[in-house]
Chain A
Amino acid sequence: MVGAIISASIAGRLKIGIGKSPKITNKTRLIAALSGGILWGVGTQLGRGCTSGLIMSGMAVNSLSGYIGLAAVFGGGYAIAYFFRKLWI
């Protein structure tokens, strides 16, 4: 958080706002963000880590679990992206 604030303030990106596709409402975006967060909360507990702790750290030491996480998160993401395209494009 400290590092992100330093970087954003240097680059002039430190401002309040909602990041979203211009085609959806703020309410839709915030409900989606909350739902996505809840899913991550459950997934990280079951899968023993997130993108950083499971996948990136796992890949750094050639661990099988990191690559399983990579395939599941990114492979799964590409597999379902089409069904949620209205949120983004």
Chain B
Amino acid sequence: MGPLFSQGIIGEELNMFIGFLIGILFGFGLESGGFANTRKLAGVFYGYDFVVLKVFFTAALTAAIGLFLLDRYQIMDINLTFYPKTFWLPTLIGGLIMAFGFIIGGFCPGTSLCAASTGKIDGMVFVGGVFLGIIGYAFTSATLWEGLKNKGALGKVDIATALGLSDGLFILLVTIVAVIAFVVVTKIEAHMKAKHDYQL
């Protein structure tokens, strides 16, 4: 049956409207999870607040389990959903650039929009920076980035298949790792909070 849009079951207008509604839910979830607070986001890297890690993995795994089940019950064809191709080298290098952006800027793009729209000046400045970065990239893409961007092309790679596991087993293993991580980080957070006085 699904996904609805890529099979022509719904038109572009309805697709955009549903996207808008889901976007509202996403923004609501991000803000209520504390993702508009840069101190909370940075806390993941310094051990004083792990809410972001918990919310992030819960969301990613809920989506993975949900899509896996919908695919198995033949309600949704996972191959017709947004399935990114892997270009391992530019993704690795781009990811490391984003890591610097995260530690220095204290947001990622989605969370900065939440912060900016709820009145955080640092969020607004960050959003401005993202635009500048994208424009800067666009102006230098032909000279600086084009060769690198298409290196390491592997096509659509399923990580479970690449590891020789079934999709279900892989998702189960990641879920187990996440649950163990939640318990461990909760202990780290309690320890760090007892030792230091961090203001959020």
Binding site for B on A (CB under 8 A): 1-8, 11, 13-22, 29-30, 32-52, 54-69, 71-81, 84-85, 87-89
Contacts and interface: CB of A to CB of B under 8 A. Distances in A.
A41 B106 contact: no
Contact of B98 (A44, A59, A62): A44
Contact of A15 (B44, B119, B126, B171): B119
A47 B91 contact: yes
Given A63-B83, A87-B104, A40 B60 contact: no
Interface in B139-169: 141, 145, 148-149, 154, 156-160, 162, 167
Contacts of A48: 84, 87, 90-91, 94
Given A39-B100, A50-B109, A51-B108, A63 B122 contact: no
Contact of B127 (A37, A73, A81): A37
Nearest to A47: B94
Given A19-B115, A30-B122, A46-B137, A81 B103 contact: yes
25 contacts: A2-B27, A3-B28, A3-B30, A4-B113, A17-B121, A33-B106, A34-B132, A37-B133, A38-B133, A41-B133, A42-B136, A43-B133, A44-B94, A45-B137, A46-B93, A47-B95, A51-B109, A59-B60, A61-B64, A61-B83, A72-B93, A72-B98, A74-B99, A84-B104, A88-B46
Interface of B: 23-32, 36-39, 42, 44-46, 48, 56, 59-61, 63-64, 67-68, 78, 81-88, 90-123, 125-138, 141, 145, 148-149, 154, 156-160, 162, 167, 170-171, 174, 196, 198-199
A56 to B, nearest CB: 5
Given A3-B30, A22-B199, A39-B100, A59 B63 contact: yes
Contact of B129 (A34, A66, A71): A34
Contacts, number: 339
Contacts of A33: 38, 105-107, 122-123, 125-126, 129
Given A19-B120, A21-B39, A64-B162, A38 B136 contact: yes
Contacts of B83: 61, 63
